[in-house]
Structure 1
Amino acid sequence: MKIHVLGSAAGGGFPQWNCNCRNCNDWREGATGAEARTQSSIAVSIDGENWLLVNASPDIRAQILATPALQPARAVRDSGIAAVLLMDSQIDHVTGLIMLRESSAPLSVYCTDRVREDLETGFPIFNILEHYSGVTPNRIDLQTRSFEPAELPGLRIHPVPLLSKAPPYSPHRADPQPGDNIGVLFEDIATGRTAFYAPGLGIIEDHLRPYMERADVLLVDGTCWREDEMAREVGGEKTAAEMGHRVQSGPGGMIEVLADFPDARRILIHINNTNPILNPDSDERRILDEAGLEVAYDGLGIEL
């Protein structure tokens, strides 16, 4: 199984277009070794030719241009993207579908009923795409333990619900339910090798641990270093937890959580522009290195 990190930043990317926090300012002035990052998305493949796009970032065009495997190669108009899987209906995970509107065939999109409802009502991308490429929705049933997408033979997908709210525009924003946000365990059927992907992992519920224990690679939420990071850096009012994310530092933080899975390759993704771990020379990055944790970057390739 091959995994390619297309984008490793949280919503807004890094540097964020309207942000002058320390990280963004240092990057613009060339005063840091931090790399620019686009908004989070990965691609997964078994054969290296047919790829599952996991979340469709607003930066998808640039991400495709940086990834030869996703570019046209078999026909005049074509793509290595065989299907799309959406883990939620957040703007930074679905807006890229509009960029794919010129597809010569309807986009095969896997999502839960809750996500589909959002994308047909509050943010009706599916309806818009009916005037262009069209969409073939494929239902992710959380009562079913796993499924195998027809477009990617050899890949088995195990979806698991995460505790999270729907986006602000969602008709059911105030009524969170399973299916608003999911994590996914990807399995190579031939080898049994697995990767767990959850960029929006805020609360580690008991039902998630068996999937995380089984994973050879953990790609999980790296949004914020500390709970009050937004207030400290940009004057924001919400804590990391209120935004649905688990911080890395402190008691119960992601560093402590991931210590329970020492045999897995552990990688943080969906990194906010305010997070000091973006700077490879920071004390926070040194702490991660000592804990055996990696920080995802655009273009990172993983083979299992």
Structure 2
Amino acid sequence: MTVPPIVALVGPTAAGKTALSLDLAERLGGEIVNTDAMQIYRGMDIGTAKLPPAERRGIPHHLLDLLDVTEPATVAEFQGWARAKIAELRARGATPVLVGGSALYTRAIVDRFDFPGTDQEVRARLEAELAEVGSAVLHRRLAELDPVSAERIEVENGRRVVRALEVIEITGMPFSARLPEQVYADPRTVQVGISIDRDLLESRIAQRVDEMFEAGFVDEVRRLLDVGLADGRTAGRAIGYQQVMAHLAGELTLDEARERTVIATRRFARRQLAWWRNDPRITWVRHDDPDRVEHALAAIGVVE
């Protein structure tokens, strides 16, 4: 039996990755492997744009709804879960189609990437400092020590800021120097990217956020707060969820929470693109190209 390729679909939030992933999985006899850091959490559905089961076209989806919102998750753990699932799918002849908004997670899965160790004492000290002064202060320090990492890590993502500072302290090297090499762990890997004009992307992001709020996003966050979302070291920092929690705490109006979610999502999309723009291995297809599926299949090596 020929071992199927690994197909990784990349591109910014709201560009249309989900629809293309379903099209490719159908044509390839594949199954979807989630690479979104927040879709692994049960109950985080509206705010992560998690595809409802009824809209999955009967295609199996993996690495969704694995954890409660109180449970932390790391890129290293996710790498292990994803690589094990990919190996399982390929062993039975199914093509894994990776899709999700977390660029680091995708790169950690498909590229050669060994995680540096951790130092509990250093980590504890930095986490205590994070709780005392906030992520913005630590992010400014990171920008001085490692501008490349600071550009790629959101100011609000205190957990990743702490991790970057920890690695810098214990290795004496920039965190960015430890990021994945542009060398596939398995040479039978293909990346397909969806390109979209920036103005249209920003408009689609605003529309998506409006639809989230209209679909009951605030109620979703309220339910998750009842089961510990605010204490979740990973889930509690998700874009949109932070802003709605601030609204429910009386710190923001609903309109302010919505607008800040749009701004944060646009900023996140720009960081996503920064990960991919310098990767020559990606074959880009236009989001509105009627032949985008055929172009993607050609890049994968499938000619019909």
TM-score bucket of the superposed structures, by smaller chain: 0.3 to 0.5
Greater fraction of residues in helix: 2
Please report the TM-score for the alignment, with normalisation by the length of structure 1: 0.32
Q: Larger Rg: 1 or 2?
A: 2
